Amino acid sequence: MATRRDVDVTDLISRARHADPRAVARLISFVESDSPVLREVAAGLVGAAGHAHVLGLTGSPGVGKSTTTNALVSALRARGDRVGVLAVDPSSPFSGGALLGDRIRMAEHTADDGVFIRSMASRGQLGGLSAAVPQALRVLDAAGCDVILVETVGVGQAEVEIASLADTTILVLAPGLGDAIQAAKAGVVEIADVYAVNKADRGGAEQVTRDLRQVQSMTAGRHEGWTAAILKLSAASGEGVAELLAAIDAHRAWLGDSGELAVRQQRRAATEIEAIAVGEVRQRFAHVHGSDALDEAAARVVAGESDPYTAAEALIAAL
Amino acid sequence: MATRRDVDVTDLISRARHADPRAVARLISFVESDSPVLREVAAGLVGAAGHAHVLGLTGSPGVGKSTTTNALVSALRARGDRVGVLAVDPSSPFSGGALLGDRIRMAEHTADDGVFIRSMASRGQLGGLSAAVPQALRVLDAAGCDVILVETVGVGQAEVEIASLADTTILVLAPGLGDAIQAAKAGVVEIADVYAVNKADRGGAEQVTRDLRQVQSMTAGRHEGWTAAILKLSAASGEGVAELLAAIDAHRAWLGDSGELAVRQQRRAATEIEAIAVGEVRQRFAHVHGSDALDEAAARVVAGESDPYTAAEALIAAL
């Protein structure tokens, strides 16, 4: 574990801004780890970011998110964009590490110095992923990425939160797996700016597209003024990738023209600050008052001597 | 919207303890809604609960959780248990209501006065579902339920949190959909006390069972002293339901004998109190200081004038 003494944050940030991949990796590790260096890194990144377009990719396991990410990276590299990929696994509080075997599919890009690939799990950070992901995005942004893809493992509340960190959110679906109705249940249809129905060469893609249109007609959509594109895709063969990129570019242009980009940036920063502040308060509950105060309150609730709201008020009063 | 003046909480709780379904429904609504009556209800329930065994059912969409719930309710009723069912949809922060069409499958039990069925979404509560679900469980417990089934809509962090509120957590899987590897990715394999491989009449159930055993051998398991049971099930036909119930009963007996039940109750109460306290602090950030303070801080971060950690510290200092 690196200590403050071992790390020259200013030098690391300077090297990251010159796209040194090891500096980028090191900074993201600090951001991820609740290291005491975290605040120094955050302070050092002030003013260094603000250029990259952030794409969120979400969808059920098995729909081909990694293949889609891979295809998008190829298309973005072909036109000269520098690309960051952040694979986020918010789901596993127990296993201690993301099962990112899928990452091997990205192997063709790992040797490309115009691509940064990092994965993050949800452990330990002050404020959780709501705080850690934006910081990691700033690191990749400062390193000169034009586009950053944030890919999540599953579909759920945590994925919805991460998707809300993106400028453009892409929901990947596939026939059979993770169909439109299931996505509607998971609440992710409403947050998507672009739908990509992958494995379009398989039977059923047309049905998923129709279901999506129906769900879309029933829900208000994320924003006034933008109707989410619904595209068919065959990420493995590359068919439809150009159209997907065009839809992303169109959404990016709309974000700028409509003023929505500034609205999202403001909302994201507020969410991030609040997550950090709440995380800090949570740590104070755990550490400053010792686990004893909380444990004793919990024992009283279990014994039927107190209710949890009264116990919580006492905890806050002691803060 | 009911006000404090309109509600006689003592009378409602008294009627709920005599198993009046309308009183139970009303109390759960208060618990769900951040109503000012919430604290009164919590205080009134002190000492009224502590009898029910709580089962958590989780699994990917499409594996047959509702059918499994339905089959378990039938089996529990057949032996005379009073049963509560709490369907929780933590996934949709936007749609404002759970898509619980699956509930119609429970139709056969709705006329049975030994069964309470309620659904909850994740909106509004102080402390979120981590606080609202335990309170709803106390209401159902006080109403005399011997067993309460908590069913979640999907698989993810929120579902893992809800599962951790249960005494016994059942992970439902099915061939093809939501297989063992995907469940491992979602981190839910490690929290299950019992695995039910549903749709066992279909091809592939044997493979899912083998995969599960392999995942199980790789992970430490949730607790020393209990090896999670892996069962095949055909919830629709009822095959394997008796074995599932036996596995649940065995786990319940182990919980009591090993002292693990008391450990879990203590941990759950601490989590609940902390969630309420954090929710209260979050509300104070939003309301006491006005959204202005947070908005101004966010604007400084967006403008590249401040970092979010410094902004968060200022927010806490102002508390």
Using a CB-CB cut-off of 8 Å, the residues of chain B touching A129 are none
CA distance B194 to B229: 5
CA distance B158 to A159: 10
Using a CB-CB cut-off of 8 Å, the residues of chain A touching B17 are none
Residue B157: what pLDDT? 61
Question: Tokens in use for A173?
Answer: 């679906």
CA distance B19 to B11: 13
Chain centre to alpha carbon of residue A52: 14
Over the stretch A171-194, which tens digit does the pLDDT of each residue have?
A: 888 887 545 565 555 556 677 899
H/E element, B263: helix B260-287
- Residue B91 to residue A280, Cβ atoms within 8 A: no
Question: Tokens in use for B143?
Answer: 């109403």
Looking at the DSSP bridge assignments, the partners of residue B147 are: B53, B83
**Greater model confidence, B136 or A223:** B136
* pLDDT reading at B301 higher than 50: yes
- A96-125 burial, b at 16+ Cβ within 10 Å, e below that, comes to eebbbebbeebeebeeeebbbbbbbbbbeb
Using a CB-CB cut-off of 8 Å, the residues of chain A touching B311 are 273, 276
Residue B177: what pLDDT? 58
* pLDDT reading at B10 higher than 90: yes
Closest CA to B85 of B123, B135, B120: B120
Q: Cβ of B121: how many Cβ atoms within 10 Å?
A: 24
Residues A60-71: what's their mean pLDDT?
86
Over the stretch B120-137, which tens digit does the pLDDT of each residue have?
A: 765 555 566 777 888 899
Using a CB-CB cut-off of 8 Å, the residues of chain B touching A298 are 266-267, 269-270, 273
Residue B97: what pLDDT? 33
Over the stretch B39-56, which tens digit does the pLDDT of each residue have?
A: 889 999 998 888 999 999
- Count interface pairs A-B at CB distance under 8 A: 241
**Greater model confidence, B34 or B114:** B114
Q: What sign does the CA torsion over B132, B136, B142, B144 have?
A: negative
Distance from CA of B312 to the nearest CA of A (A): 5
Out of B46, B277, B302, name the one closest to residue A266 (CB).
B302
> Percent of chain B beyond pLDDT 90?
34
Residue B123: what pLDDT? 54
Closest CA to B44 of B30, B33, B57, B55: B30
**Greater model confidence, B73 or A29:** B73
Asked which of A11-20, B40-49, B165-174, B217-226 is least confident by mean pLDDT, the reply is B217-226
* pLDDT reading at A295 higher than 80: yes
Q: Which of B119, B211, B273 to mutate to test the interface with A (most CBs of A within 10 A)?
A: B273
Beta-strand relationship, B147-152 and B83-89: parallel
